[in-house]
Amino acid sequence: MKRRLISVITINYNNAAGLAKTIESITSQTFTDFEYIIIDGGSTDESVEVIKKFENRVDYWVSENDNGIYNAFNKGIHQATGEFIFFLNSGDMLSCSSIFEEVVPNLKENDIIYGNILIDEKPKAWLKEYPDKLNFRHFIYDSLPHSGGSFFRRTSFKDGSAKYDENLKIVSDWKWFLTAIIKYNYSYKHINKIIGIFDCSGVSSTESALSKKEREYVLLQEFSAIYNEISELFNYKVKYDTLLSSRYLRFCLKLKKLILWQK
């Protein structure tokens, strides 16, 4: 059997409406040289019925209890046979029906190919752009788009960086990007296209606190020799964010604009 160029993996748990939206986004692509894998975590809503509705467009699916989102990702990777892997979680969508076709010419020698994403914060949305060049500082403050934004060479999950760390609840994808690019020197390429639309309606302040804690743990484990310097960068970022959000600074900026306008 001919190996497909792309393995698309969708993970889902009790999000039937979001899953239907995601499947329709995938199956409407003009480029069709991909296999589609759905990993459902034993949903108790109508998710399985949604999958069965599109079953003729899905190459593999399973609905069973798992140990979290990264366990689900790893299950999908295990089933994937394509040269590249693309993740699109339930609720997320592709930017348009031709985006795979537009991206395919870039799927060549690099291990990671990433684009930009649209962040859907209902009722507003905003564009998240990523840099062409990545360094350690970037990953201290940010990451790369996992769902709906990046294509991974499948063999990348079998080399130095391996699969996702299932001991982490929030930041295992960030850890994978960090170690793959900074520690193992995986090759990458940025394409200036909006690939996916990310639904962030489920993000909470609790997740943000856990994310910070897990990131600090990863940095201590993976980069212990420079951990003190990394901690200083984190502290500078906290002070910077606090300054940007201060009422006094906002007042000064407004006052400056008013003075310039009057001139």
So what's the pLDDT on residue 196? Answer: 98
What six digits make up the tokens of 77? 């990777």
**Per-residue pLDDT tens digits of the chain, which is 263 residues long:** 578 999 999 999 999 999 999 999 999 999 999 999 999 999 999 999 999 999 999 999 999 999 999 999 999 999 999 999 999 999 999 999 999 999 999 999 999 999 999 999 888 899 999 999 999 989 988 999 999 999 999 999 987 778 999 999 999 999 999 999 999 999 999 999 999 999 987 655 557 788 889 988 998 888 888 777 777 776 666 666 666 666 655 666 666 565 666 55
**Pairing of β 34-40 and β 112-120:** unpaired
Question: Which residues touch 175 (CB under 8 Å, ≥6 apart)?
Answer: 164, 165, 168, 218, 222
Residue-range domain boundaries for the chain: 6-203
Nearest-10 Cα torsion for 76, 104, 192, 91: -40
| Degrees, nearest 5: CA angle 253-204-77 | 120
* CATH class of the domain defined by 6-203: alpha beta
Tell me 4's DSSP state: P
CA 5 – CA 126 distance, rounded (Å): 30
Q: Please tell me the chain's helix, strand, coil percentages from 3-state DSSP, rounded to the nearest 5.
A: 45, 20, 35
DSSP three-state, residue 209:
helix
Strand intervals (E) in the chain: 6-12, 34-40, 60-63, 84-87, 93-94, 112-120, 125-128, 150-153, 188-199
Answer for the pair 241, 233: CB distance below 8 angstroms, yes or no: no
Amino acid at 114: Y
So what's the pLDDT on residue 30? Answer: 98
What six digits make up the tokens of 203? 């993000």
What six digits make up the tokens of 173? 């994808």
So what's the pLDDT on residue 53? Answer: 97
Amino acid at 207: E
So what's the pLDDT on residue 119? Answer: 94
